[in-house]
Amino acid sequence: MRYYIILFLFTFSFSSFAQTIEKNGKTYEVKDEKIFFNSEDITENLNIEEKAKPKL
């Protein structure tokens, strides 16, 4: 039973590496330094200011 719990936590940790950001009413997902919108890689389409991290 202990191995199932460890396996579950290990699997869950891989799915939590993506970050979602909402800007101008659109939701973007940042994963491995690439930016996705509607599951499409749009990293090359953005300018430097749009790629910058939002200031909190």
pLDDT tens sequence across 5-47: 888 777 766 655 668 888 888 888 888 778 888 888 888 887 7
Residue 56 has pLDDT above 50, yes or no: no
Write down the pLDDT at residue 53.
61
Domain range summary for the chain, segments of one domain joined by +: 17-48
Report d(CA 11, CA 45) in Å as an integer: 32
Give start and end residues of each alpha helix (H) in the chain.
Answer: 2-15, 48-51
